[in-house]
Amino acid sequence: MKHIYLIALAVLTSFSAFAQTTVKFQIDHKLKDQVFAFNQKATNNLDNEFNVKRLEYYLSAFTLTHDGGQITKASDVYILVDGGSTVDVELGSFNITTLESINFSVGVDAGVNNQDPTQWPSNHALAPKSPSMHWGWSAGYRFVALEGKTGSNMSTVFEIHALGNDNFFKISIPTKGSMDNGNLVIKLDADYTEALSNIDVSGGLVIHGETDQAIRLLRNFTNTVFTSEEGNKNTLGITNTIPTIQSVLYPNPSNGRFFIELPEDLRGNLELSVMNTTGETVLSQSLDNHSVNAFAIETRGVYVVTIKLNGMIVETKRLVVM
């Protein structure tokens, strides 16, 4: 009888050691302490009033830290978050007793980012979407697409589409989660006023690519957008300092001919590029230090003017050609 009891105890112990817990991941969309809604007026830390017309972003590279520092990967989980839709995704079933943190990134990991999106089933997060979340094979997916209106009458358009393998930043948020009907639920608040922290959208802004305000947007998502139920943010926060040379671009709007005046004490190799809203570079050339540089664009439209110093993006401006 004792032998039978020991066998039963061993079976129960073995079963307990390999018991699996289903882990669910949820996001509550917020504008500060209000529930997020499209077209709802909000204010960032620069007192810029804005609303949001489009908000989509990818989350991937999920891992869970638990039970004394063990790290378990949630394999092949890609989430396309839409601000207008509920996020309640099953990450998988794992042998977890005590959760310590959830880890992920905004965007798509480099191993997948530059693959063909048509390889995925139509219902997959990485399959082609409308409006598109894919920039092209060389650049990959838009990590975040944030569009809305701003200005005194909410009539000025702003758009920030951020991408780039170098901007795939890590996020680690301490949380214990909570049990609900036998599932371990990890719930994060996402405050999208924080996404535009220190980004001046008041005069309109169109940035598509890997330029400075797009990088700042991704850094804001990394550092301060997400908060756990316990009030914790990313413990792997990165610097939000982006250098600028404070050049002057004029006239703007322009009839096609415009000038860039550089600071007198500037040293180094300077390059200028001008990109249209479809991501096509229409002008690229070096800049002459210590002088006013003249340029011309024939086609009307909105352009992004980027200046690099010694290969590093140091300034981005919006140019309107009428």
Query: Residues 61-102: pLDDT tens digits?
Result: 999 999 999 999 998 999 999 999 999 999 999 999 999 999
| Dist. CA 296–CA 254, nearest whole Å | 9
How many angstroms separate the CA atoms of 22 and 98, rounded?
13
With 0-12 CB in 10 A as exposed, 13-18 as middle and 19+ as buried, what is 294? Answer: exposed
Q: Give residue-wise pLDDT tens across range 128-144.
A: 999 999 998 778 999 99
Is 14 exposed, middle or buried, given 0-12, 13-18 or 19+ CB atoms closer than 10 A?
Answer: exposed
pLDDT at res. 287 = 86
| Cis peptide preceding 253, ω within 30 of 0 | yes
pTM for the model stands at 0.73
Candidate from 102-111, 130-139, 302-311 with smallest mean pLDDT: 302-311
Superfamily covering domain 248-321 = Immunoglobulins (2.60.40.10)
Q: Is the pLDDT of residue 27 over 70?
A: yes
Angle 62-65-67 from CA coordinates, rounded to 5°: 150
Amino acid at 198: N
Residue 209 has pLDDT above 90, yes or no: no
Q: Which residue has the higher pLDDT, 213 or 56?
A: 56
Report the percent of the chain where pLDDT is more than 90: 63
Residue 8 main-chain phi, psi, to 5 deg: -60, -40
Q: What is the pLDDT of residue 9?
A: 46
The radius of gyration of the chain from alpha carbons, rounded to an integer in Å, stands at: 24
Q: Mean pLDDT score of the chain, rounded to an integer?
A: 88
At residue 1, the 3 state secondary structure works out as coil
What is the per-residue pLDDT for 242? Answer: 57
Amino acid at 225: V
